[in-house]
A and B are shown apart, each in its own frame.
Chain A
């Protein structure tokens, strides 16, 4: 997977490159719109992460340029200028998704995977673990054709843990994913603990070994 990161903030780009490289993406970075424009013309990117707030270039123009390419790279807009009009315009111009800054890297990865699945049918929507299968498109969890009934939140939580298996997810990261960008007064990690407890209870009948590790004071890790 060849990814172009168009981002004028060097520090942020550095973290993105670091994270995506860990996840086995091949990354290029363009700090200016002009640089990005050249890179897009020369290389065949599968994915473009586009910051709209570029100092030298209108991000939407860049988006149109990328859209005219034959191999149709997936485009994800990353923006802190979260004006609604800009987002809608971006999606209208053919971006596959947008993620308002600040975002979690885990969220970014989940979104990228979703885009890839939709666009290229690369990934199957079924994830398997410990003899269970989670189908993202039908939102079902099954054990040998037996469906395990989960609430919406429980399903989302399990799916997220599974997407990032073998990695510690903090309660905050889980909360942000489950409750989206709903602006709240505060966040309450207890809700996550309650959901985890229920998940464990529901899956206990099907999974015998330890599948969800609690890392004290940090968070949870789904192990395979």
Chain B
């Protein structure tokens, strides 16, 4: 899950939880607020009534005599005020809910009760407000609060989403840049324009790390350059010394043959070093892939170069390329080496009168080029190992250093070419190159 989605989800969830909490807590809260307001109002009304009684005299409300009382209701029975004489000694000062019967109808009221004394007479004042009215106002309040909350949650969720998007943009930039790196050497350190220090720090760290990787690669390159120089220089000296000895008229004939043997051995050493250097140079991306290569052209060139070897071995070399294919971003000389090696093997391990066929077809996902021979084949047990370095297979001449196929594989990997081999001992071998769609 992406960070942005997580952040948005988290903020939305936290808001929803908050919202649910509010929904649960709101009714009792509002209820309490409403009750408090009602009570305040009752108290204010009480003060007013008491002031009026004081100004106008109690007689205005309650006549002398027994059973006399004052009562006032409004039309819809939402409120009432009543005063009556009560027995002395009764002291009440409270607010509470109570049921009252008003004109044959039982109504639930919030009632303030208070006893007060005027001229040794105790009176009871009651001011009531119907609870239904209170409830209604609570409901209305609740509705508004709910609507408000929903709107707030939705709005802030969107705002959060937009904000995290803006906030995380530098991270997205960093990720995109990392995705674009094909090889460490192509990485260009750039400054990140962001006020978020964490991202700047992350970017700097990556720059730093890639710098180290690049330095390591450069070292490797230099090392390979130095090694090739160090190894090939003595080989060079030996080779030239032997050539001079061979050309020297004073060299006796029986030594000439020895010298030729030496020359062969030295050649073997040289080609092993060069093969290893080639492999490591390819793996270090010291070759460019900046050419367009047409398969038909390439196959034509390889066949042209190797045709007389096939003739010398009495092997027929056939081409069957029904479609053409252009490789972009390739290295022609490496591809030539790759194909040459495979075709060369197909000729070398063939039998007189045998055949080597190169077939090229458009396949499902790209293009497939196969080299099929009618040679000795490779045992199933050996197939998995034919690309490993220094694995010696049945070289008829015993001169093979077993680096031909590893070179083929390295070049194929370098071009993202899928390489596969099938073989039937005694029948022949097929090497297939699957060129990817670009």
Residues of A within 8 A of B395 (CB): 185-186
Residues 154-202 of A contacting B (Cβ, < 8 Å): 167-168, 170-173, 176, 182-188, 190-191, 194-195
Chain A's nearest CB lies how many Å from the CB of B146? 73
Taking the complex as formed, is B25 at the interface, i.e. its CB lies under 8 A from any CB of chain A?
Answer: no
User: CA separation between A186 and B246, bound complex, in Å?
Assistant: 22
Give B221's nearest chain A residue, CB to CB: A83
Please state if A105 and B236 are interface contacts (CB–CB under 8 Å). no
Residues of A within 8 A of B247 (CB): 19, 22, 167-168
Taking the complex as formed, is A129 at the interface, i.e. its CB lies under 8 A from any CB of chain B?
Answer: no
Please state if B256 and A104 are interface contacts (CB–CB under 8 Å). no
Residues of A within 8 A of B259 (CB): 218
Taking the complex as formed, is A18 at the interface, i.e. its CB lies under 8 A from any CB of chain B?
Answer: yes
> In the complex, which of the residues B260, B308, B340, B405 contacts A170, with contact meaning CB atoms closer than 8 Å?
B260
Please state if A185 and B400 are interface contacts (CB–CB under 8 Å). yes
Known: A102-B236, A183-B274. A217 touches B241 (CB 8 A): no
Known: A186-B395, A217-B256. A12 touches B308 (CB 8 A): no
Please state if A191 and B312 are interface contacts (CB–CB under 8 Å). yes
Taking the complex as formed, is A42 at the interface, i.e. its CB lies under 8 A from any CB of chain B?
Answer: no
Chain B's nearest CB lies how many Å from the CB of A157? 11
Please state if A218 and B257 are interface contacts (CB–CB under 8 Å). yes
Chain B's nearest CB lies how many Å from the CB of A7? 10
Please state if A102 and B399 are interface contacts (CB–CB under 8 Å). no
User: CA separation between A184 and B267, bound complex, in Å?
Assistant: 11
B-contact 0/1 string along A189-224, CB 8 Å cutoff: 011001100000000000000000001011100000
User: CA separation between A57 and B308, bound complex, in Å?
Assistant: 46
A-contact 0/1 string along B381-407, CB 8 Å cutoff: 000000000000001010111111101
> In the complex, which of the residues B228, B274, B275, B404 contacts A81, with contact meaning CB atoms closer than 8 Å?
B228
Taking the complex as formed, is B309 at the interface, i.e. its CB lies under 8 A from any CB of chain A?
Answer: yes
Is the interface on chain A under 10, 10 to 19, 20 to 34, or 35 or more residues?
Answer: 35 or more
Known: A12-B233, A173-B243, A194-B312. A218 touches B402 (CB 8 A): no
User: CA separation between A218 and B348, bound complex, in Å?
Assistant: 23
Residues of A within 8 A of B243 (CB): 15, 19, 104-106, 173
Please state if A15 and B401 are interface contacts (CB–CB under 8 Å). no
Give B240's nearest chain A residue, CB to CB: A15
Taking the complex as formed, is B168 at the interface, i.e. its CB lies under 8 A from any CB of chain A?
Answer: no
Please state if B225 and A172 are interface contacts (CB–CB under 8 Å). no
Tell which of B237, B288, B403 has the most Cβ of chain A within 10 Å: B237
User: CA separation between A23 and B204, bound complex, in Å?
Assistant: 62
How many inter-chain contacts with C-beta < 8 Å in the A-B complex?
131
User: CA separation between A194 and B126, bound complex, in Å?
Assistant: 133
Residues 3-26 of A contacting B (Cβ, < 8 Å): 9, 11-12, 15-16, 18-19, 22
Taking the complex as formed, is B86 at the interface, i.e. its CB lies under 8 A from any CB of chain A?
Answer: no
> In the complex, which of the residues B239, B308, B344 contacts A102, with contact meaning CB atoms closer than 8 Å?
B239
User: CA separation between A97 and B331, bound complex, in Å?
Assistant: 22
Taking the complex as formed, is B286 at the interface, i.e. its CB lies under 8 A from any CB of chain A?
Answer: yes
Chain A's nearest CB lies how many Å from the CB of B231? 8
Taking the complex as formed, is B244 at the interface, i.e. its CB lies under 8 A from any CB of chain A?
Answer: yes
Please state if B263 and A183 are interface contacts (CB–CB under 8 Å). no
User: CA separation between A139 and B229, bound complex, in Å?
Assistant: 36
Known: A9-B233, A12-B240, A101-B236. A172 touches B345 (CB 8 A): no
Chain A's nearest CB lies how many Å from the CB of B157? 56
Please state if A172 and B308 are interface contacts (CB–CB under 8 Å). no
Chain B's nearest CB lies how many Å from the CB of A82? 7
Taking the complex as formed, is A84 at the interface, i.e. its CB lies under 8 A from any CB of chain B?
Answer: yes
Q: List 23 A-B contacts (CB under 8 A).
A: A9-B236, A9-B237, A11-B241, A15-B237, A22-B244, A53-B229, A81-B228, A82-B228, A84-B288, A102-B239, A168-B246, A173-B243, A183-B275, A183-B337, A184-B271, A184-B340, A185-B344, A185-B400, A185-B405, A194-B308, A194-B312, A217-B260, A218-B259
Which residues of A are at the interface with B, using a C-beta cutoff of 8 A? 9, 11-12, 15-16, 18-19, 22, 53, 80-84, 101-106, 151, 153, 167-168, 170-173, 176, 182-188, 190-191, 194-195, 215, 217-219
Which residues of B are at the interface with A, using a C-beta cutoff of 8 A? 225, 228-229, 232-233, 235-237, 239-241, 243-244, 246-247, 253, 256-257, 259-260, 263-264, 267-268, 270-271, 274-275, 278, 286-288, 308-309, 311-312, 337, 340-341, 344-345, 348, 395, 397, 399-405, 407
Question: In the complex, given contacts A19-B243, A185-B341, what are 15 additional A-B residue pairs having Cβ atoms less than 8 angstroms apart?
Answer: A19-B247, A80-B232, A101-B232, A103-B239, A151-B308, A167-B247, A170-B260, A172-B267, A182-B337, A182-B340, A185-B395, A187-B267, A190-B312, A218-B256, A218-B259
In order of increasing CB-CB distance, the 6 nearest A-B pairs are A185-B404, A102-B236, A194-B312, A15-B240, A186-B399, A217-B257
